Amino acid sequence: MTDIENQPVRTEVHENTLVITIDRPKARNAVNAAVAEGIAEAVRRLDEDPQLRVGVLTGAERMFSAGMDLKAAANGESASIEDKGFAGLTEAEPDKPLIAAVEGFAMGGGFELALACDLVVAGSSAKFALPEVQRGLIAGGGGAVRLPNRIPYHLAMELILTGEKLTAERAAELGVLNRVTADGAAESTALELAAGISRNAPLAVKAAKRVSRTAARDSEQQAFTAQREEIRALLASEDFAEGARAFAERRSPNWSAR
């Protein structure tokens, strides 16, 4: 494990996984400009480093994030980055998978950060909410856009229009979460999921994410067109040849990401 300090966002490498930790516990890990810049830089590193396969996003001291730092916003500070959205992530579309490991509260922008990830793990006491309407705003970091596409429309609208809290148990019932863990175990469970993803061919993992993202956003026909191109490229890759050899030889493949 390598520990790299980058306050107020810390990054640690666990084998092939980059753990990105929002580290402002006194501010309930609220997102200000420095956090947005730190997350954007960490995601850039994740995508550009060939040794890294998966990212895990979490918060320090068992608190995921209270969302936007309203005090910083009142002083004119922006928590968004151009072309990358709130917290440098919600509109960034990273190439590699991201897993949210949620403990405590994921409020407003915190919930939107989790929704921007590909998988979500949460401790059993975690709470989620999009309370922006209670403060004269809307969930503009992806909550109002993504949630109706993740769960039934009427249930999404209840959360978006009331701002009421959602328990981890209910979030799992609705399909928002992949796993509910004991409190304090969200990060370790996310790392287990990341290890499972990392065992697979990195080119195929990125291609699968791109096709799934296209399918969620565009027409079915556009998704199939994109998928054909991805499969054509994968069939010509060294990793596909290695995967076939490893299967025939009954051994684990040695991926080269080429």
What are the catalytic residues? 112, 132
* Angle between the N-to-C axes of helices 238-249 and 220-235, in degrees from 0 to 180, rounded to the nearest 10: 70
Sequence-ordered list of residues with C-beta below 8 angstroms from that of 219, at least 6 positions apart, any chain? none
Closest CA to 18 of 53, 48, 62: 53
43: its two tokens: 């995601």
**How far apart, in whole angstroms, are the C-alpha atoms of residue 215 and residue 225?**
10
